[in-house]
Amino acid sequence: MTDRLNTAIRKTPSWLLYLVGAAYPVWLLYAGVTGGLGVDPVKAMEHALGKAGLQILVAVLLISPLRRFTPLNLLSWRRALGVISFFYILLHFLVWMVLDVQILSQVWADIVKRPYIIVGMASLLILLPLAVTSNNRSVRKLGPKWRKLHKATYLAVLLGGIHYIMQIKSFQYEPYVYLIVIVGLIALRRLPKRQMRRPKKGALQRAV
Amino acid sequence: MAHRWTNDLTHDDVTPKSAYMNRRQIVAGMAGLGLATIAPKAQAAAETLDPTPFDVITQYNNFYEFGTRKEDPARYAGSLTTKPWSIKIDGMVDNPGDYALSDILSKMTIEERIYRFRCVEAWSMVVPWNGFELKDLLDLAGVQSGAKYVAFETLYRPEEMPGQRQPFLEWPYVEGLRLDEANHPLTLMATGIYGKPMPNQNGAPIRLVVPWKYGFKSIKSIVRITLTDKEPPTSWNKSIPSEYGFYSNVNPKVDHPRWSQASERPIGGGFFAKRIPTLMFNGYEKEVAGLYEGMDLRKNY
Ligand code: HEM
């Protein structure tokens, strides 16, 4: 059963993942313009994109422990998910800049003086080179450096989780749950690898 | 005493005529109770701002007693029982006691006030409130000479207010005004919008409206008013004192630590609504600046 699932996952063409990923912002835009996002579509879209971006990033971090502790292997989706989350967060930023704040001098003022924006911006800037190098050519060119570079994902997600907490207006559980999960996933990496690794299943493992 | 203040915001032609006519009829129908009719166009001052549509005013609310999302109040406030309702007036007053809302209303003149409404989160609306001046209620209770502040309290009823089962804020919600702010003719006890009874999600059956202050000062579903000689605690100030002060006057020059207050997003304008500049004291500078003469508004935020 899991074998068949893993095969299906492995065989999913990445364009399909990108297509599904692109559908969500397109739908948000459509819903926003036609009234489906309520009376304040700008905030609704801004929040939905930030939230979905963070959720996908958390999912990206989950892939490796899932492979380690369960038979499920989502490794072949990881790169596409990472790129999709980057685009959601980029759109989150653009919605904030163009539709929410609107005034360019104000955008700049916020970027340099609001701590929660600075933290979010730092996260986005860390994700940028990762998104740019998410292709086979970069993997080949950078060699072992590629893996090292892409470990920065952990930092970007952590900053995203902190940014989420920093923007709340009063106590709420949800952002803290996210941060706990993120910190937990980072801590999990430090867990000594007591179990034997399952035998590698060919070249697929390298397709990160 | 009603009619101490005249609207400078008016319904202009963009308001759907049917809604407008409808409302006028409601207003006219209540004229016997002393409800003011809409100020004639000629009297309308410089501005022609439209009231935000009823559906927007009633579907986009911050009322954490029902949840923290803007759509939560509209979704969950239906369960709130608002009849019977009374307000306990106590502290430094000559006639303390529980005042039945129906008794209060029988002594008041309800008038319409079209006010700008500016949330501390930098969004805004224009709301046609119906209500009476707080001063008239305070006169009824007989404020004693030593009183300097007015404290307000929202209903605490977690069975009907699901947000109160969560620690979003310390419950019940409390607010306060200086006595001179409370006595200002702009300060309203609102019982309706658009000539309709106050919707639950907007603070039924009776709420405060202080149009020159950020929205959270305009406490909803009031059950208690206390006259005191000390500055009363206020909910958001208790929660995050560095961000929300006692005064919380709308001031485009004093930023919230996390965002600018120089401009605001009018709600209801759709996806591409332009920001508009925020006005000092939310446009009521002429009326209220005198209350704060000599005060450092940056310190007393
Ligand atoms: C590029 C810089 C960024 C800017 C300017 C920015 C701006 C914002 C703003 C303005 C809000 C809403 C605050 C409010 O309504 O009061 C927000 C919320 C949020 N942002 Fe960001 N952000 C940035 C980066 C990020 C990143 C990198 C992530 C995730 C990894 C992220 C995730 C979120 C989340 C989850 C929320 C809360 C959404 C909700 O309440 O459902 N943001 N951000």
- Provide mean pLDDT across the span B167-186: 97
B11-292, which class in CATH?
alpha beta
A120 Cα: distance to centroid of ligand 1 (angstroms): 7
A93 Cα: distance to centroid of ligand 1 (angstroms): 8
In chain B, domain spans: 11-292
| Cα of B186 vs its chain's centroid, Å | 10
How far is residue B212's CA from residue B283's CA, in Å, rounded to a whole number? 7
Digit-coded pLDDT (tens) for A81-134 = 999 999 999 999 999 999 999 999 999 999 999 999 999 999 999 999 999 999
A165 Cα: distance to centroid of ligand 1 (angstroms): 10
ipTM confidence: 0.83
User: Which of A35, A106, A170 is the closest to B169 by Cβ?
Assistant: A170
Ligand 1 touching residue A158 (CB < 6 A): no
Chain A residues within 8 A of B56 when measuring between CB atoms: 39
Question: Going by CA atoms, what residue is nearest to atom 32 of ligand 1?
Answer: A50
Look at residue B46 and tell me whether its pLDDT is greater than 60: no
Q: What is the mean pLDDT of each run of 10 residues along chain A (208 residues)?
A: 88 93 96 91 96 98 93 93 98 97 93 95 97 94 94 97 94 95 93 58 46
Give the A-side interface with B, CB within 8 Å: 32-33, 35, 38-43, 99-103, 106, 109-110, 114-116, 166-167, 169-172
pTM for the full predicted model? 0.86
Strand positions, DSSP E, chain B: 86-91, 97-100, 111-118, 123-133, 149-154, 174-178, 188-193, 196-197, 207-209, 222-228, 263-266, 276-277
Ligand 1 touching residue A92 (CB < 6 A): yes
- Cβ of A104: how many Cβ atoms within 10 Å? 10
Digit-coded pLDDT (tens) for B256-293 = 999 999 999 999 988 889 999 999 999 999 999 999 99
Distances (CA, A) of A44 to A63, A98, A160: 29, 14, 18
Residue in chain A closest to B277 (alpha carbons) equals A103
Ligand 1 touching residue A120 (CB < 6 A): yes
Given a contact cutoff of 8 angstroms between Cβ atoms, the answer to whether B271 and A41 are in contact is yes
- B111: nearest Cα among B46, B191, B20, B11: B191
b/e code B224-240 from CB counts within 10 Å (16+ = b)? bbbbbeeebebbbbeee
Question: Going by CA atoms, what residue is nearest to atom 35 of ligand 1?
Answer: A51
In chain A, domain spans: 2-200
Residue in chain A closest to B263 (alpha carbons) equals A101
- A81: nearest Cα among A116, A46, A109, A56: A56
B85: its two tokens: 């309702």
Looking at residue A1, its pLDDT comes to 73
Digit-coded pLDDT (tens) for B76-123 = 999 899 999 999 999 999 999 999 999 999 999 999 999 999 999 999
Question: Going by CA atoms, what residue is nearest to atom 28 of ligand 1?
Answer: A160
Ligand 1 touching residue A117 (CB < 6 A): yes
